[in-house]
Chain A
């Protein structure tokens, strides 16, 4: 089904199942521990041997010598995979550095060996006996030191053009009555999902099955095939449950490749989970940024010039952190510029983490807006309302937003949060030993769409079955897909079975960039329309006049059950949604307003979040229950980026030092009090037949800036170098 004109009234608009809050249909499996994750497939691959990855001990250089004798002689060892015996390997389209290093080493903890043994303990102990001599070649590890050497990255990619310019930014900024010109920095971040990267591999002749934890099945099938040099048809991926991803599991990674190589070498299934302490340096991370923002406005805060420059680093062949992308679309201003510059760094591979670009771009932009509000003496909520723009400000009025309710979010959110109690002047409110302040920030995340397929059938019992390679990474895909099928086929939610995450199913949009929910349910919508046509034809009714409800297909005063029509062999249909150019003709994005109240201890500068709240507009909210969970979870990750999250770089040896969950801090229960989420009613008919948009990343976008602005309001201390830790606050207070 081609989606190239705005959606009219369609079966989803009935809203009988879609749009209602539902418990997750995979809930019972998750709360009882019976949902099988990738390392737990005793059912599918009994007798799997255990692999333990050995990572490089240098950041850049060469393996001079490897001595495997002691490891090979260790108890229970079945084999050791290295570059010397793995055969010729390609590199996946989505990988920057090879997943199995040697003799060349591209980054610290790049895999250099997999030790396979009969037990986990034997594999782990034998791995310690692998002796490797390296020739270290040093490298560049410090973004600030390399900032001046950063270059314009190639055109293309998710972030669009690295340089954009409209009007005369320099001239307009120079003339502006009120100016903000500040630098901000954000550190490297780790996804830190709870399930490590994990895979179980089994070969049957030349056919490989990988039970793995992966967000993008079709991408990864392709990269497994390319890396191993085998046909895609010989690769099956199974990933029904994924213990968190946040972008870490978009790609083929070392666990899956090494499990496949290991299973081939030892002639039996092999499973590999990365040890927690290997994850930050072996896999991908969100790159650090240095950002400069300049905003020129009139005395009432109306923006005339806005510029955002971003510097980040990555391995050779890698890409930039596109942190200026929201600045192209969020606020008005006739004169604008953005620029991204990329430095070569020999740190582990930088790549996407939840809301790549916006998540850290808004940590800077929304603090700059707070600074502009103060400079103009305009309330920060009012400032954002004044600078709203209903069209793409680079393209002009001929490219309107498909829907944009930033102003509604700001007003409703402010009202609900009690924003009118905020004191404009910082440092005015005390509660015992706590200095108390409030902050606001806009939320913005692009709405991406992608081709997505599904097949759907009815069986003789009237059960509707949906199959697609879409994944559920905690996002609630199982449930919203079931809701979509139930709505379309006129059956209760309980009459729908959803099967996900298997490369034998039609290719979906997958989970990433908050495109999954809208795109994959639209794919199910397309398949369901095809099934409705088949059922109507079999019933002898006109599909345009047939009603699907209560397990029946009805036409005038006649009806037949879906079960009877399906018969013993069932009826199946398959289709996909393909998106035309509506996302070119219209700017499509999701919006929101974040509010936060913090307390800062007057002596120790300890920051405690007291309340978070927000209002969000993201098209039709398919399942308000799981959508709210997505938003509060993302707000919490945003709070983490404001207060604690940082991968600290050892700039001498080129690795992330705090590479485990004891030292890479993320918010815990005690850090997060009640969070309030309001969804603003919105249908976006240009986004998809579902009239929905993405919501899984919107919640992180701006959340950390609201925390930072609240800290400023509480204390009068403005820190522009994230995270805003106690040491920085105390140092600024002393100055």
Chain B
């Protein structure tokens, strides 16, 4: 077992992990933060997306012991039923989900994507590398690592646009 210090959703935790434990299983099985979902465990579906040190990653593709001293935000850290994050609120308003299983990953990705665009980080579909525009094509491209088999895709894009518009206003 290897000692690891993690700051999860603002709370510091001193933990001991089997070196084989993925960050995803550390969250779900050890910290009981089951909002982060396991869909494929191989980085294929995006359901396990969390935000580590400000960047979204697939938590199934990284080991917990690799994140000593790092800050992690999961869906539980974005908001609660009584105090929803604007993106969580927008997903409800625009019906950006159905079964709910990919939803925490979609929301973590969506929050991070808006920040990536704001920071001017280009994507495969960016026309002007000096000025990354917030377009539907940009959103779709950047969200494509998060599969929704129920296929709420247009509703998710609507939710993101809603939040992005609100932030600008």
Contact = CB atoms under 8 A, between A and B. Distances in A.
B154 A661 contact: no
Interface string B57-92: 000000000000000001110111100100011011
Given A23-B93, A31-B91, A32-B88, A661 B39 contact: yes
A716 interface: no
A243 B151 contact: no
B92 A31 contact: yes
A78 to B, nearest CB: 16
Contact of A636 (B81, B91, B97, B151): B151
Interface stretch (B42-50, B114-122, B126-134): B42-50
B107 interface: yes
Contacts of A241: 99-100
Interface stretch (A36-44, A63-71, A682-690): A36-44
B149 A192 contact: yes
A241 B47 CA distance: 16
Contacts of A668: 143-147, 153
Contacts of B157: 669
B99 A243 contact: yes
Contacts of B84: 28, 31-32
A666 B153 contact: no
A672 B154 contact: yes
A730 B120 CA distance: 38
Interface in B32-52: 32-42, 44-45, 47
Contacts of B81: 28-29, 32, 34
Interface string A111-145: 00000000111000100000000000000000000
B135 to A, nearest CB: 12
Interface residues of B, number: 62
A31 B107 contact: yes
B20 A121 contact: yes
Interface string A472-492: 011110000000000000000
A24 interface: yes
Contacts of A662: 42, 44
A379 interface: no
A70 B92 CA distance: 50
Contacts of B76: 32-34
Contacts of B21: 119-121
A674 B92 contact: no
Contact of A629 (B28, B29, B98, B143): B98
A473 B97 CA distance: 11
A88 to B, nearest CB: 34
B119 to A, nearest CB: 20
A732 interface: no
Most chain A beta-carbon contacts within 10 A, residue among B78, B146, B149, B157: B149
Contact of A660 (B40, B47, B151, B152): B40
Contacts of B91: 27, 31
A629 B47 contact: no
B98 A475 contact: yes
Interface stretch (A193-201, A254-262, A282-290, A314-322): A193-201
Given A275-B41, A661-B40, A633 B35 contact: no
B95 A23 contact: yes
B101 A660 contact: no
A37 B101 contact: yes
A4 B141 CA distance: 52
Contact of A40 (B28, B40, B44, B79): B28
Nearest to B146: A669
A33 B75 contact: yes
A268 to B, nearest CB: 15
Given A34-B35, A669-B143, A670-B144, A630 B98 contact: yes
A637 B151 contact: yes
Given A32-B88, A244-B101, A672 B153 contact: yes
Interface in A633-676: 633-637, 660-662, 666-670, 672-675
Interface string B93-113: 101011111111001000000
A633 B154 CA distance: 10
A669 B125 CA distance: 13
B44 A669 contact: no
Nearest to B145: A668
B163 interface: no
Contacts of A673: 136, 140, 154
A276 B151 contact: no
B154 to A, nearest CB: 5
Contacts of A661: 39-40, 42, 44-45, 147
A243 B37 contact: yes
Interface of B: 18, 20-21, 25, 28-29, 32-42, 44-45, 47, 74-76, 78-81, 84, 88-89, 91-93, 95, 97-104, 107, 136, 139-141, 143-157
23 contacts: A23-B92, A24-B92, A28-B81, A28-B88, A30-B97, A32-B75, A32-B76, A33-B34, A34-B35, A35-B100, A37-B101, A40-B34, A194-B45, A195-B39, A244-B150, A276-B45, A277-B42, A473-B99, A474-B100, A474-B150, A661-B44, A661-B45, A672-B153
Nearest 10 pairs between A and B by C-beta? A33-B35, A243-B101, A474-B99, A474-B98, A30-B100, A636-B151, A40-B34, A661-B44, A33-B75, A633-B151
Given A33-B33, A194-B45, A629-B150, 19 more contacts: A23-B92, A28-B92, A31-B92, A34-B81, A37-B34, A37-B101, A40-B34, A121-B21, A191-B149, A244-B99, A246-B149, A276-B40, A474-B150, A629-B95, A630-B98, A632-B154, A661-B40, A666-B147, A670-B141
Interface of A: 23-24, 26-37, 39-40, 42, 119-121, 125, 191-196, 241-246, 273, 275-277, 473-476, 625-626, 628-630, 632-637, 660-662, 666-670, 672-675
